[in-house]
Amino acid sequence: MDTAIEEALRNRIFDWVRERAAANGGFLHRRELLDFQIDGRDLPIIDFSRGIRNPTEFSSTLAIVASADGPYDDTESHTDGLLHYAYRSGDPAGGDNRKLRAAITTGLPLILFRKEIANYYTPVLPVYVVEDIPEQRSFVIALDEAFRFMGSTRDLSDPQREYALRLARQRLHQPAFRTRVMVAYSTTCAVCTLRHGSLLDAAHIVPDTELGGVPTTPNGLALCKIHHAAYDQNMLGISPDYRVAIDGGLLEEVDGPMLRHGLQEMHGRSLTLPRLTKDHPDRALLAWRWERFAATPA
């Protein structure tokens, strides 16, 4: 396939992945990735059984899957924020490794899918294969094309490392947290039960800027955008016994239907909880946040 044609097709696939992920709430299901079609023909975006997708007609890899429980040692480095993606088994010079290696030469981007939960994939795109490290039998995957032009990733300057780590937090950690929370809450606002994924956020109970603000489901809440904003501004609180409270001053205001139905009528409601107990909001974390809500001047 001509490089320009492949690039155009790749961009169309990327656009579809972005649109579907946004509609779903930040993730895609395995089935829709396997069933993808374009121009009337089947073109699965992930492989049925392997962590790498190399369409026959493509010169370089289309997508890779990184999984915490996968058969390969695919790990994100906590020292440089880059993904170290292990060679696929077999001949290091051939097969799947050849098309990953070709991505370094072509510069064509690919999709990284993070499998945080069985059958649910968080897309991170575009990403780039920037280096082949034969002695470690791995490729280096970066979140910014700029790393293709920085020389060896083993010789990054401190500012370059800091930039890569910041990108990892924004483009890997936050989307992965969102997927875990959305799946736990069945893509439903815990306060008002709105079910439109594109209008929902994964909110931290303890902010990620605070000690203890970890990106785990018990520290998360699926909230629609208005309730997320109200929660962040202490206009809305959630008690350790899973009750919703609206700031007293706000309860006394008179405004349009959004204030009345969207906020004031939420006062006293019980939180909609995840199906699995292990995903329920941590009561101690809610208590920490509740104290700050209660102390906010009306």
Domain segments of the chain: what residues?
3-180, 185-294
Query: Does position 71 have pLDDT exceeding 60, yes or no?
Result: no
Percent share of the chain, pLDDT over 90: 66
Percent share of the chain, pLDDT over 70: 94
Give the span between the Cα atoms of 88 and 107, in whole angstroms: 20
Tell me the one-letter amino acid at 46.
I
Q: What is the pLDDT of residue 72?
A: 44
Query: Does position 49 have pLDDT exceeding 90, yes or no?
Result: no
H helix runs in 149-212, sequence order: 158-168, 174-184
Hey, what are 47's tokens? 């492989």
3-180 belongs to CATH 2.160.10: no
| pLDDT (tens digit per residue) in 200-256 | 999 999 998 888 888 899 999 999 999 999 999 999 999 999 999 999 888 888 888
Mean pLDDT of 43-64: 93
Report residue 69's pLDDT band, with 50, 70 and 90 as the boundaries: low
Mean pLDDT of 185-203: 96
Q: What is the pLDDT of residue 296?
A: 77
Which H, E and C letters describe 208-247, residue by residue? CCCCCCCCCHHHEEEEEHHHHHHHHCCCEEECCCCEEEEC
Give the span between the Cα atoms of 122 and 63, in whole angstroms: 12
Q: What is the pLDDT of residue 297?
A: 74
